[in-house]
Amino acid sequence: MKILDGQLVSQATKDDLKIKVADLVQQGLKVPHLAAVLVGNDGASETYVGSKVRTCEEIGYKSTLIRLDKSIDESELLETIRKLNEDDDVDGILVQLPLPAGISEQKVIDAIDASKDVDGFHSINVGRMVQGLPTFVPATPHGIMLLLEYYKIDTKGMNAAVIGRSNIVGRPMSILLSAATNPGNCTVTLCHSQTKNIAEICRNSDLIVAALGKPGFLKADMVKEGAIVIDVGISRVTDPSKKRGYSIKGDVDFDGVAPKCSYITPVPGGVGPMTIAALMKNTFRACTAK
């Protein structure tokens, strides 16, 4: 069993970007600028946005964090996006999800200029991804593809199970794994809450991506010997032994599953850091591919 070390690969990706940013500076060119919009003060969203902004600083990007009260209405958020679209200094825009009830996430996402949509959630960019055209690929599935690529895992012809059909992770993951690329070229089954035989589908899979948000869901008896297991889960589970009162748990019962795997991602230190690295790659592209 080998650990797919997201921390290590993320650091390598960030180091590479750091060098590229230094090159831009030396040539007198503009450095990438990411604008993040955070509505309300959900604890998990605060953590994610904080780490995105910190990573920008680490690499040498410019970043702007726009905080809006959770009581704002949709039109105010759309106006904020309009201004960011028009600001030539801003290369990438992300609106942290979820948004408060009453605000249409798709309307907000589609208001972002598609050429600044570093999350890859805009309808145009999703369409381009499905067609295999160059575009911004959503950060979590993009990060997973980078991880598989780094470890030179040849997924050609594999049966892959993706558990969870969210627009952020599961659905784009299923598209990328089925694409005629390397990694890719998998035969993908996209499982969700209405799937009848998840355990059986998983047992028949060479590669499993667990992205359903249920801590410890994937158990050893659902995994075949030698499978590759990617854990996207990052649930906060109450843990009085921790100073902060919770610990982070993945969707995979790691202790049970890991001994059966050829490769597995840990939580934390697997997919999480890769998501940030992929976002940083997208932001670099937004700045330089104009």
CA distances from 51 to 42, 66, 176 (A): 14, 14, 26
> Which one of 58-66, 73-81, 93-101, 207-215 is the stretch in contact with ligand GUN (CB under 6 A)?
93-101
CB 169 within 8 A of CB 199: no
Cβ neighbors of 175 (< 8 A, separation 6 or more) are: 129, 130
* Other CB atoms within 10 Å distance of the CB of residue 25: 11
> Which one of 92-100, 124-132, 200-208, 248-256 is the stretch in contact with ligand GUN (CB under 6 A)?
92-100
Q: Would you count residue 274 as binding ligand GUN (CB under 6 A)? A: no
Beta bridge pairs of residue 214: none
Site string for ligand GUN, 176-215 (x = CB under 6 A): ----------------------------------------
Q: Active site residue: 91, 117, 119, 231, which one?
A: 119
Q: Which residue has the tokens 């249409």?
A: 104
Binding test (CB under 6 A) with ligand GUN, winner from 39, 112, 139, 287: 139
Q: Is the peptide bond before 259 cis (omega within 30 degrees of 0)?
A: no
Binding test (CB under 6 A) with ligand GUN, winner from 5, 119, 231, 253: 119
Q: Would you count residue 94 as binding ligand GUN (CB under 6 A)? A: yes
> Which one of 61-69, 77-85, 90-98, 128-136 is the stretch in contact with ligand GUN (CB under 6 A)?
90-98
The reply to whether 52 belongs to the active site is yes
Whole-angstrom Cα distance, residue 186 to residue 53?
34
- Point out the residues that are catalytic: 52, 96, 119
